[in-house]
């Protein structure tokens, strides 16, 4: 009993509970919104959200994994920056620039053989994302520009730049989207085509999911290792806690800030590459004046995952799951934006984490005291 | 000459909303609460105001309709900002996270409601612009000044200047202004002389919400004929304007005009003779305001005069 109580009062459990409360409140608000807008079908609509990817069988679950892949990476990007005391709101820009770099290499460099081609494309995405975050990093470290403002500006610049470059280099005018990447640049299926398909009378209706999800999980573990087990990660974290103290301890704080931003940007850029290197049935770059949603959704993913890389994997699944459910909502004439409302509420209430965290141990202790 | 007038009038259309929203940001930050949700508040304000115009334009038109829409936008922004105030003042949340949530909520809400209410699930809200003043009587006939300020204008332009003057007076000449500034610099000192820091900060956030809601409407009305759940990142530009203006109203005015000019060049380059022939793609022009912002911030942030206690939740018990 004592160990049980110890777990209940422990830091990790406490923080995870705060996340779960935030998710529940978010879902509740979503249900209320459905109820107000169309009370007759609200329950059916809410069921669709909850059943998420399962609505369409194994293929649907595959799609959840496919859309969770970029979210893991952008979540890692935001979470890694959080750990080092920075708020990387620039993931949409880094993501889209990375995506463009990957697709560009995927379409043009056809002379490369299969594994090399997609590896090169992913590397390009990673580097491009890192470069895009380098600018806010330098501005923050050396010129005292708040990284939130500068990354927001970089988001818009990145969006317009990606639009312009896509239109002028790799555009398929008939389909109004980017050209398909070469087959050699499509990420291999990595065994997932044996699980995630729907059987249409002997024909396999394959999900888009590919080995990108394996790569994402490996990267998450790698980041966990870097943050928690290396001197380098420790230095970056120390700068997040107290710049002056780390300077005093002989850490180059300015260099650490720039490096943190660049690594965060590399993660977001890689996420862009993983989503878009997925063949004809996958996503294509579209020329629209809208910031990449996958980038912004990295923020709730990181918050729910408590900036812990392993937690981020799970929270990316959750967000992808309900987003997928939202897409099916249109069958009931509900606008899928209700999912964004839910996610916004989840972020809002996870900002209350500090309050929940103080409240929980208090309630648990009080409950015990009453019974004794 | 007429091109110069056109550019100047366009600059006004872009600068005035920036000025109003940046002043809003100034009030909340001088009180010690940062508000990156200005963009979301603009969207909510514009949404409610434009939706009101859309519904009522059959019955009424002209300045009366605009004034009522202004009131509705202002009130919406204020109510919406309560969420931010509650999170950042009562719950002591991370103000950036709360702001991010509101920024995400606003466009989703605007699209959702528009699609659920309007026939055929259309997300754009159309409106007819009956608010443009061709020429102000008497003043519009003045040479040069008439062409610059009193032709092809909106009452919102003059409202912007009125708000600027009121802001200067409130901030520097009233008891409330002094208290607000004190709460942004050193809330514990303010508390020690009996000022209710929570109340003052609430007031700051609510003012920012009201002005941002108004700014959203002021931005959409002269520059478009429909509202599509976006204000093109204007709330974020307003934040940059506030920083460039070093949290001082008159410098904010100057900064707003600088950015308004940048935005005007981006949107009217096709009628400016030497730019129209330069064959620079439109996407590059769209980047200009944001690139200019970055460059300006790089040069003006080193000696930042941000309020000292901004973005730090006030906790009576801490020292």
With CB atoms and an 8 Å threshold, state whether B287 touches A160.
yes
Any A CB within 8 A of B165 CB: no
User: Which among A37, A168, A344 has the least Cβ separation from residue B104?
Assistant: A344
Which pLDDT score, from 0 to 100, does residue B268 have? 78
Mean local confidence (pLDDT), B253-262? 91
Residue B31 binned pLDDT confidence (cut-offs 50, 70, 90)? very high
Is B124 in a helix, a strand, or coil?
coil
pLDDT in tens, B49-89: 999 999 998 888 788 999 999 999 999 999 999 999 999 99
**Cα within 13 Å of Cα(B304), Cβ side:** 18
Measured between beta carbons, the chain B residues lying within 8 angstroms of A167 are 283
Centre a 10 Å sphere on the Cβ of residue A232 and count the other Cβ atoms it contains: 13
Distance separating alpha carbons of residues A114 and A261, to the nearest angstrom: 32
pLDDT in tens, B209-226: 999 999 999 999 988 888
Is A261 in a helix, a strand, or coil?
helix
Lowest mean pLDDT among A115-124, B128-137, B186-195, B196-205: B128-137
User: Which among A135, A148, A340 has the least Cβ separation from residue B108?
Assistant: A340
pLDDT in tens, B274-317: 776 777 788 888 888 889 889 988 888 877 778 888 878 888 77
Which pLDDT score, from 0 to 100, does residue B89 have? 92
Distance separating alpha carbons of residues B227 and B218, to the nearest angstrom: 12
Which pLDDT score, from 0 to 100, does residue A368 have? 60
Which pLDDT score, from 0 to 100, does residue A97 have? 97
Domains, chain B, ranges and CATH?
Answer: 2-300 (1.10.3470)
User: Contact B172/B27 with Cβ under 8 angstroms?
Assistant: no
Which pLDDT score, from 0 to 100, does residue A372 have? 43
Give the E-state strand segments of B127-175 in sequence order: 133-135, 151-153
Distance separating alpha carbons of residues B152 and B6, to the nearest angstrom: 9
Which pLDDT score, from 0 to 100, does residue B99 have? 92
Distance separating alpha carbons of residues A304 and A312, to the nearest angstrom: 7
Domains, chain A, ranges and CATH?
Answer: 42-332 (1.10.3470)
With CB atoms and an 8 Å threshold, state whether A347 touches B101.
yes
pLDDT in tens, B99-121: 989 999 999 999 999 988 888 77
User: Contact A102/A137 with Cβ under 8 angstroms?
Assistant: no
With CB atoms and an 8 Å threshold, state whether A153 touches B281.
no
The C-alpha of A206 sits at a distance from chain B's nearest C-alpha, in angstroms, of 31
What's the sign of the alpha-carbon dihedral A189, A190, A196, A198? positive
Tokens of A218: 């490996």
Which pLDDT score, from 0 to 100, does residue B170 have? 96
Which pLDDT score, from 0 to 100, does residue A80 have? 95
Closest CA to A9 of A364, A285, A295: A364
User: Which among B98, B115, B121 has the least Cβ separation from residue A351?
Assistant: B98
Is A204 in a helix, a strand, or coil?
strand
User: Contact B288/B266 with Cβ under 8 angstroms?
Assistant: yes
Kindly give the pairing relationship between strand B226-227 and strand B125-126. antiparallel
Which pLDDT score, from 0 to 100, does residue B2 have? 76
Any A CB within 8 A of B271 CB: no
Measured between beta carbons, the chain A residues lying within 8 angstroms of B116 are 37-38, 334-335
Which pLDDT score, from 0 to 100, does residue B111 have? 92
Q: Which residue of A has its CA nearest to B285?
A: A160
pLDDT in tens, B145-192: 777 777 778 889 899 999 999 999 999 999 999 999 999 999 999 999
- The B residues from 38 to 97 touching A (CB cutoff 8 Å) are 83, 87, 91-94, 96-97
Measured between beta carbons, the chain A residues lying within 8 angstroms of B107 are 340
Mean local confidence (pLDDT), B16-27? 96
Q: Which residues of chain A, if any, have pLDDT below 50?
A: 370-372
Taking only Cα atoms into account, the Rg of chain A, rounded to an integer number of angstroms, comes to: 22
Which pLDDT score, from 0 to 100, does residue B83 have? 96
Measured between beta carbons, the chain B residues lying within 8 angstroms of A89 are 96, 100
Residue B28 binned pLDDT confidence (cut-offs 50, 70, 90)? very high
B31: Cβ–Cβ under 8 A, 6 or more apart, which residues?
B180, B181, B183, B184, B200, B201, B203, B204, B205, B307
Q: Which element (helix H / strand E) includes B130? A: none
Measured between beta carbons, the chain B residues lying within 8 angstroms of A296 are 104
Distance separating alpha carbons of residues A316 and B253, to the nearest angstrom: 43
């Amino acid at each position: 009993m004592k160990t049980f109580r110890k777990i209940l009062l422990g830091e990790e459990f406490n923080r995870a509970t705060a996340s779960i409360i935030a998710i529940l409140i978010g879902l509740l608000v979503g249900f209320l919104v459905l109820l107000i807008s169309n009370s007759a079908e609200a329950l059916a609509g809410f069921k669709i959200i909850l059943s998420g990817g399962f609505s369409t069988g194994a293929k649907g679950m595959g799609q959840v994994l496919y859309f969770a892949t970029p979210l893991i990476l952008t979540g890692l990007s935001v979470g890694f920056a959080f750990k080092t005391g920075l708020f990387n709101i620039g993931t949409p820009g880094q993501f889209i620039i990375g995506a463009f770099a990957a697709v560009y290499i995927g379409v043009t460099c056809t002379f490369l053989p299969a594994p090399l081609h997609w590896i090169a494309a992913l590397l390009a995405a990673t580097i491009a994302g890192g470069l895009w975050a380098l600018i806010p990093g330098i501005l923050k470290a050396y010129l005292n520009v708040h990284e939130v403002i500068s990354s927001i500006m970089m988001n818009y610049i990145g969006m317009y730049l990606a639009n312009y470059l896509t239109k002028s280099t790799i555009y398929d005018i008939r389909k109004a989207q980017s050209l398909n990447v070469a087959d050699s640049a499509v990420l291999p299926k990595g065994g997932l085509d044996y699980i995630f398909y729907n059987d249409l009378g002997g024909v396999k209706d394959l999900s888009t999911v590919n080995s990108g999800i394996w790569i994402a999980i490996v990267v998450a573990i790698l980041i966990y290792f870097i943050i928690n087990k290396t001197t380098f990660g420790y230095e970056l974290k120390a700068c997040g806690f107290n710049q002056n103290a780390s300077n005093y301890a002989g850490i180059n704080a300015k260099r650490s800030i720039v490096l943190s931003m660049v690594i965060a940007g590399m993660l977001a850029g890689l996420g862009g590459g993983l989503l878009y290197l997925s063949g004809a049935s996958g996503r294509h770059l579209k020329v629209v004046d809208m910031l990449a949603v996958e980038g912004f959704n990295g923020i709730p993913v990181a918050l729910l995952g408590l900036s812990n890389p392993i937690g981020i994997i799970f929270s990316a699944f959750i967000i992808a799951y309900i987003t997928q459910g939202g897409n099916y909502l249109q069958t009931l004439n509900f606008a899928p934006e209700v999912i964004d409302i839910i996610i916004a509420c989840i972020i809002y209430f996870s900002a209350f984490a500090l309050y929940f965290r103080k409240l929980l141990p208090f309630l648990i202790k009080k409950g015990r005291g009453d019974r004794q | 000459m007429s091109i110069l007038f056109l550019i100047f009038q366009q600059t006004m259309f872009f600068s005035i909303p920036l000025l109003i929203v940046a002043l809003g940001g100034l009030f909340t930050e001088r009180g010690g609460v940062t508000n990156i949700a200005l963009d979301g508040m603009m969207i909510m304000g514009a949404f409610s105001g434009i939706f009101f115009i859309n519904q009522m334009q059959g019955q009424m038109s002209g300045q009366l309709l605009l004034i009522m829409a202004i009131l509705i936008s202002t009130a919406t922004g204020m109510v919406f900002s309560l969420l931010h105030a509650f999170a950042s003042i009562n719950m002591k949340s991370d103000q950036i996270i709360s702001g991010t949530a509101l920024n995400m909520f606003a466009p989703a809400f605007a699209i959702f409601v528009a699609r659920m209410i309007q026939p055929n699930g259309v997300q754009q809200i159309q409106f007819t612009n009956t608010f443009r003043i061709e020429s102000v009587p008497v003043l519009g006939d003045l040479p040069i000044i008439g062409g610059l300020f009193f032709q092809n204008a909106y009452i919102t332009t003059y409202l912007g200047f009125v708000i600027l003057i009121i802001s200067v007076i409130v901030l520097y000449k009233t008891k409330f202004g002094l208290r607000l500034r004190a709460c942004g610099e050193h809330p514990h000192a303010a508390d020690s002389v009996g000022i209710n820091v929570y109340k003052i900060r609430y007031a700051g956030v609510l003012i920012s919400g009201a002005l941002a809601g108004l700014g959203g409407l002021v931005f959409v009305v002269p520059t478009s004929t429909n509202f599509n759940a976006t204000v093109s990142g204007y709330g974020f530009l307003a934040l940059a304007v506030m920083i460039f203006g070093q949290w001082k109203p008159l410098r904010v005015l100057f900064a707003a005009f600088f950015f308004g000019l940048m935005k005007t060049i981006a949107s009217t380059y096709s009628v400016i003779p030497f730019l129209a022939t330069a064959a620079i793609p439109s996407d590059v022009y769209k980047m200009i305001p944001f690139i200019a912002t970055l460059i300006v911030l790089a040069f003006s942030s080193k000696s930042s005069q941000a309020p000292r206690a901004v973005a730090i939740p006030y906790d009576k018990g801490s020292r």
